[in-house]
Structure 1
Amino acid sequence: MLKAKFSPPRMKSVAVAFMAVWLAVFSAAGAVNAAGTAGGEWVDNPLGLEVSSAILIDADSGQVVYEVNADEPRPPASMTKLMTEYIVLEEISKKALTWDEIITVSQEAASTPPDGSQIYLAAGDQHSVKDLYIAMAVGSANDATIALASQIGGSEAGFIDKMNETAKELGLTTAHFTSATGLLDTTIISARDMAKLAQTILAKHPEFLEYSNLQKYKFRERDKQPMINWNWMLGANKDVKNFKQFAYEGVDGMKTGYISKAGYTFTGTVKRGDTRYISVVMNTRSKEARFGETAKLYNYAFNTFEKKSVIAPKTVVETLEKTKIKKGVQKTVPIVTESDVTFTVKKNVEPKIEMTGHELMSDSELVAPIKAGQKVGTVTYTYTDDEGKKIDKTVNLIASEDVKKGGWFRLFFRGIGHFFSGLFDGIVNLF
């Protein structure tokens, strides 16, 4: 019987090589999980968010509550559609479009690449602006998005020019749009600018939430199934079997996104009581993770912070009770704040808030008649948090009552008085 001969050194080298390969594969897998996704590396942060970029702001004031690498321009994927949605709302407010207007689907829209979400439009189809808008807002339909873009800009390229012009007008310094849909990874914007865009939408067009909060929508009567909102985090989903694990009380918008270079992204908003936050997370692990990371932000905000009002609207500011005017029945006008001064501060910590500056218009700029509500200056308050970071809030000071223009007789004698007063002061100064 033949006995097989083994070479111990050779077997040892094979085993070592096998172990090396196994460890390399295991380590590589671990490194991917630790470092990020195909959309880029994650950034270390105190909350442990697995994101490349994120931000949370107060929707009313824009005050930043939390941020991670918020100024890096990154592909936003379908969050790009927030700019498209904003421009459509602007066109409607200007009467350039109406919700009931019928749009004939262009060949460009019908030729939208099949990858990604769509509602399967054909060239020549006719649908209302409202239906196409909901398809974009709820189903993230790329073909519906381009149909609207073509209608407004003449083509997607013409609309992209309008997107970039609008970004410049809004001060979105990192934004560069190359598509209306976000399918191209050459479109970039920072988390901070995306949050700023979202804040602008909610401030100027609160009706946006009527559409972003829809759980589902049947686009055509013949459609077998309705579109389902990609935002599984909607508070209204609390009783929906497939989504209730993601539902978060108070969430009513705004837009999800995904392409490989962006990773999974989400711009969200949540309101509880009188507090509304806007969040952005970029490059999360999965569809589900973008909602989980957002929930961490919301939990942190609601558990840690509260609103603190220093000044209510129409309040008299000490030392700034009135300002001089010219040619009025009165020589001065009483003034108040136009709006409130409110900061988001940590709970159970006495905030350090103080008036740090003011500016009143000169009496040569304030000439009667003066109307109640007319701007006469500004006042600035500064909140210093427990880490020493300073946050300023500036509000307008306005006239609290009307002041009529004085009659010629009154102004004539007032002028004489000023003349002799000045003459007397001049003589006194000679001695």
Structure 2
Amino acid sequence: ETDSAEPDTPGARGTARPAPTGDQTDDDETAPGTDTDAAPEDDAPPVDQPTAVFKAPRPPVDQPTTMLKLGKPAPESKPEPEPKPKPEAEAERTSKFVALKPLDEPRPKPEVTAAVPQVGPERTTQQPLPPKPPLDLLAELTNTPPPPPSPLRTVARRVKIWTPLVLLLIVAFAIAQSMRPLPSPTLALTAEDSYTFDGGKVSLPWPTQGQGWMDVNGIGTMGDFGKQTPVAIGSVAKAMTAYIVLKDHPLKSGEEGAKITVDALAEKEGGYNKQGESTLNTVKQGDVLTERQAIAAIMIPSANNIARLLARWDAGSEAAFIKKMNDTAKELGMKNTTYTDASGLKETTVSSAEDQVKLGNELVKIPALMEITSMGQWIDPSGQKWYNYNYLVPYTGIGIKTGTTSAAGGNLLFAARKKVDGETVTVVGAILGQHKAPIIKTVNDVSKVALLAAEDELKSAKILKKGDVVGYVDDGLGGHTPVVLTRDVTAVGWSGFKVKLSFAADDVPHTAKAGTKVGTLTVGDGEGGAVKVPVTLQKDLTEPGFTDKLTRVS
């Protein structure tokens, strides 16, 4: 590079210069890439700053392919002393660029060789490599080759990978199991679920006609006779009328209840007609009867006009009330019963002795009604006295309802209470279809015989003692806490009868102290005369442990 301002010519930089003088050595041409300028005479004045051309060292080659062209590197010759530059004339102050190779000669393409001598530091161009497994790459980086694959190493590698994940899942599962809501504890019976009284089956003295059924309320059926088919029941139908009215308008013991105004139709129907219909003929339109008085009117003098008045008062119309009667019969399981009127005067109102006893078992649970039906006589608001057609009241203490028509014959739904070894039990019976005149007396007589015989058959037996383990509380996860009786259990029954035992659980907690009441043992098949004994925890009730929570499956 020089300071010459002369234009460039092809193949060289700067301008042409005169032929070298005799002071230059021929050795300058033996080293490629060197150049010297002719020196002017010694006495020439110096121009600006002398330009000296030194022997240029070969630049380092950055591509291995250069050696293909150059072959073996030439031995580096020792630099020779350069002649002392002479000042040149101003007109001759020029420089010349001598190219090592022609500039327009195409550069040779690089060739790949197995081993290429390098000039200067080694530099290579790397091609992208395929991805390597992490362990191989790690071994390569640490200069440690990966171990050779084997089944054992494969298993060990998988164990290292999966063990933390499995442990994490186990911990999450354990936390979830321990946090789940506990199942509700239940009460289970371990004692025998029944007890059979000694002796053969009881045979009651039934009449020779009609049909009948006898239950001990809440305990079971003592006996029956006749085919249980639908037959006309007469005024016994008023028992269902009273039951629905008292369900819709409950009446407490000794209470008079709501006031009911007598309408014109009730007054009109009050007189005895050609059919000899029973009515309350002392009422006039505008009179007021209490609910208790109206119930007494249909259950003792069997007043048909008041039964229809109650139906209109309760449901708005007798038709709507009759629908209620039939719906209630279905609810009670009275499969052979159909009501077509509220009084029972129509022969199409039919039932069976079994069905009427099902209704009677519900009626004896209503104290206000039993107060009325146990009366031997009733005095209406006008002061007139009416006698109860149920002659059994002096023997039974309670009675329910009679019903007699020429088509239905004599029918009676009755009940009686008796104490058996301190336990009060209620006997409920029905006898239908007694046509021997006088029918009302006949049905009362045959019912009395059967009822007194049933009461004589009643007896008690101690079947469990206080402190006996009769069951356990199940916590739902396999834990069982025993429960015991708080007193002796005495069952009431009769010869050959099998009494049922069952549990009724309270709201059992997850934890409780020993002695806490958790339920009731019931001896019998229902309410009424069934014996009920509280049961308590024998020991403390505790929550399930962590292991039980962890292993639960539901």
TM-score tier (shorter): 0.5 to 0.7
Q: Displacement, 1:197? A: 0.7
How far is the alpha carbon of 1:147 from its aligned partner? 1.6
Change (3 A) 1:353 1:232: closer
3-state SS in 2 of match to 1:89: helix
1:427 maps to which residue? none
Alpha-carbon distance in structure 1 between the residues aligned to 2:321 and 2:485: 43
Whether the 8 Å CA contact 1:321–1:336 is kept in 2: the answer is no
Distance in 1 of aligned mates of 2:523 and 2:381: 53
Distance 1:315 1:80, change over 3 A: farther
Q: Which residue of 2 aligns with 1:242?
A: none
Of structures 1 and 2, the larger Rg is shown by 2
CA shift at 1:394, angstroms? 9.8
Letter in 1 for 2:235: S
Letter in 2 for 1:231: N
Note closer, same or farther for the CA distance 1:162–1:279 as it changes in structure 2 (3 Å cut): same
1:53 is the counterpart of 2:211: yes
Counterpart secondary structure, 2:322: helix
Instruction: Pick one of 289, 302, 317 that aligns with 2:442.
Output: 289
Q: Does structure 1 retain, via aligned residues, the 8 Å contact 2:481–2:541? A: no
- Kindly state the Cα deviation for residue 215 of structure 1 after the two structures are TM-superposed: 1.9
Counterpart for residue 415 of structure 1? 546
Q: Counterparts of 2:477 and 2:509 in 1: how far apart (Å)?
A: 6
**Aligned-CA RMSD value:** 4.0
What aligned pairs does 1:322-401 form with structure 2 within 5 A after superposition? 322-325=472-475, 332=481, 334=483, 336=485, 342-346=491-495, 368=510, 374-375=518-519, 400-401=536-537
TM (norm. structure 2) is 0.51
| Runs of 4+ residues over 4 Å off in structure 1 | 314-318, 335-341, 351-355, 357-361, 369-376, 378-382, 393-399, 401-406
Structure 2 CA distance for partners of 1:341 and 1:88, relative to 1, 3 Å: farther
Deviation string, structure 1 residues 383-403 (Cα, Å, up to 9, x no partner): xxxxxxxxxx99999762599
Q: Residue type matched to 1:192 in 2?
A: E
> Distance between the aligned counterparts of 1:111 and 1:403, measured in 2?
71
Question: Does 2:414 match 1:278?
Answer: no
Residue in structure 2 matching 1:308, options 440, 443, 460: 460
Distance, in Å, in 1 between the alignment partners of 2:251 and 2:477 is 38
Distance change in 2, residues 1:306/1:94 (3 Å): closer
Query: Aligned match of 2:289 in 106, 111, 127?
Result: 127
Say whether residues 1:109 and 2:294 are aligned partners.
no
Q: CA deviation at 1:135?
A: 1.1
Counterpart secondary structure, 2:350: coil
Task: Give deviations 1:4-62, integer Å, cap 9, x for gaps.
Answer: xxxxxxxxxxxxxxxxxxxxxxxxxxxxxxxxxxxxxxxxx98361431112221342x
Match of 2:236 among 69, 74, 79: 79
**Richer in helix (by share):** 1
Measure, in 2, the Cα distance between the counterparts of 1:358 and 1:400. Answer: 15
8 A contact 1:106–1:124 mirrored in 2: yes
Give the SS at the match of 2:351. coil
Q: Which structure 1 residue ranges, 5 or more long, are not aligned?
A: 1-44, 236-248, 383-392, 424-431
For the 8 Å contact 1:55–1:70, the answer to whether it is kept is no
Q: Distance in 2 between matches of 1:257 and 1:80?
A: 8
Q: Does 1:232 align with 2:391?
A: yes
Superposed CA offset, 1:134-165 (max 9, x none): 11121111111122121111111111111112
User: One-letter code of the match for 1:138?
Assistant: I
Q: Does the C-alpha gap of structure 1 residues 48 and 401 become closer, same or farther in structure 2, counting only changes over 3 Å?
A: closer
Q: Secondary structure at the match of 1:99?
A: coil
* Equivalent residue in structure 2 for 1:183, among 325, 341, 345: 345
The count of residues paired between Structure 1 and Structure 2 equals: 330
Which string of whole-angstrom CA distances, capped at 9 and with x for unpartnered residues, describes residues 351-406 of structure 1?
58698x97999xxx966267955559x88999xxxxxxxxxx99999762599996
Relative to structure 1, the CA distance from residue 381 to residue 179 in structure 2 (aligned partners, 3 Å threshold; closer, same or farther) is closer
For the pair 1:92 / 2:249, whether they are aligned, the reply is yes
Q: Which runs of 5+ in 2 are unaligned?
A: 1-202
Q: CA deviation at 1:324?
A: 2.1
Q: Distance in 2 between matches of 1:196 and 1:353?
A: 20
Distance 1:251 1:358, change over 3 A: closer
Q: For residues 226 and 94 of structure 1, do their structure 2 counterparts lie closer, same or farther at Cα, with a shift above 3 Å needed?
A: closer
